[in-house]
Chain A
Amino acid sequence: RTSPFFSSKPTNPTNNHKIRSYTWHEFGKFVDATRGNNINGISELKKYFHRFGYLKMDNLNFTDLFDDHLEHALIKYQEKLGLSVTGKLDENTVSQIISPRCGVSDSAPKFMHAKRH
């Protein structure tokens, strides 16, 4: 929580205040990362996409490789949220990812039915 990522490209007047996402601020360093690279910490981004319904994997031991699965999830995310579909971690996409959001999954979720704990 020491170096929050600040969104550099506000997209509407309400975004004039700098956005700090303590939870996902580390994702700011992934801007312009490309497929095929091993990037320290990008497994956390895979967990993010898994949590919100974009990355379906049986094996939840996510690696730090920017692989086809991550690129596919990224494309699905960009399509769903009306972003430019680049398959890349461009600034707009990363800015959207780190924005505060609802915890409900984006993909016709089932988990928000009642569960017993």
Chain B
Amino acid sequence: YAFFSGRPRWSRSIPITLTYAFSPENVITSLSKSEIKDAFRRAFSHWASVIPVTFLESKDYGFADIKIGFYKGDHGDGEPFDGVLGVLAHAFSPETGRFHLDAAETWAVDFDRKKSDEAIDLESVATHEIGHLLGLAHTSVQEAVMFPSLRPREKKVDLKIDDIKGIQALYGSNPNFNDQARSESDTSISNG
């Protein structure tokens, strides 16, 4: 695992509560609002299960800690999106909270329903970008959520040991996190 330069993290005292909200203007219509919200709720829950951080959805976009939006092309932060595939999304390091997804992608929450060869799993990308919002940079571990690339129709939502060790180095462990169960789970996966 790796951190951003200077190892930034949300500095409020633990346990931390962060609010998130969706931009009312920068949206996509290929998925329903509830599908999008459910995917993000699951993505936040992956991280919340391992660190003492709680994520609450807010309707107040202006005051939310994490601001989520779907944007096309140049959207004003100096990192324009590039259309289908290529760059899928980006997020800012703590404590900025900006989370931008490329509106041009074929976002999917269910590959059985979305048959496109270019379909990108929204929950997987959301889980990865939340890692950035919390302070993790890209890892070299290919199986980890924080590996920089994600292929179309690939689903990668379960945090691996590398992700967990990294994020717990920043925030400590969630008191309810069962380290041993997670390790055994990872082992059984790697053993096929």
B142/A82 in contact, CB under 8 A = yes
Could you say which of B6, B92, B98, B151 has the most chain A C-beta atoms within 10 Å of its C-beta? B151
In the bound complex, residues from chain B placing their C-beta under 8 Å from that of A111 are 78-79
A23/B86 in contact, CB under 8 A = yes
CA distance A31 to B2 in the complex (A): 30
Given contacts A22-B83, A22-B85, A114-B96, whether A104 and B138 have CB atoms under 8 Å apart is: yes
Nearest Cβ on chain A to B152's Cβ, whole angstroms = 6
Q: Interface 1/0s, chain A 56-87, versus B by CB < 8 A? A: 00000000000000000000000111100000
CA distance A96 to B149 in the complex (A): 8
Does residue B120 face the partner (Cβ distance < 8 Å to A)?
Answer: yes
CA distance A4 to B139 in the complex (A): 28
B86/A115 in contact, CB under 8 A = no
Nearest Cβ on chain B to A58's Cβ, whole angstroms = 19
A106/B4 in contact, CB under 8 A = no
CA distance A81 to B120 in the complex (A): 21
We find that the number of chain A residues with CB closer than 8 angstroms to chain B is 32
B4/A24 in contact, CB under 8 A = no
B148/A19 in contact, CB under 8 A = no
A117/B76 in contact, CB under 8 A = yes
Nearest Cβ on chain B to A104's Cβ, whole angstroms = 5
A22/B150 in contact, CB under 8 A = no
A104/B132 in contact, CB under 8 A = yes
Contact of B2 among A14, A52, A108 (CB under 8 A): A108
Q: Interface 1/0s, chain A 1-41, versus B by CB < 8 A? A: 00000000000001101111111100000000000000000
Closest to A97 in B: B149
CA distance A82 to B150 in the complex (A): 15
In the bound complex, residues from chain A placing their C-beta under 8 Å from that of B79 are 103, 111
A102/B93 in contact, CB under 8 A = no
> B residues near A, CB below 8 A?
2-6, 8, 76-79, 81-93, 96, 98, 117-118, 120, 125, 128-129, 132, 137-138, 140-142, 147-155
* 7 closest residue pairs by CB, A with B: A23-B86, A103-B90, A101-B149, A103-B87, A14-B154, A99-B149, A114-B96
30 pairs, CB–CB < 8 Å, chain A vs chain B: A17-B153, A19-B152, A20-B117, A20-B118, A21-B86, A23-B82, A23-B83, A81-B140, A81-B147, A82-B141, A99-B149, A100-B85, A100-B120, A101-B86, A102-B88, A102-B89, A102-B132, A102-B148, A103-B87, A104-B91, A104-B137, A106-B138, A108-B2, A109-B5, A109-B93, A110-B4, A111-B78, A112-B92, A112-B96, A113-B96
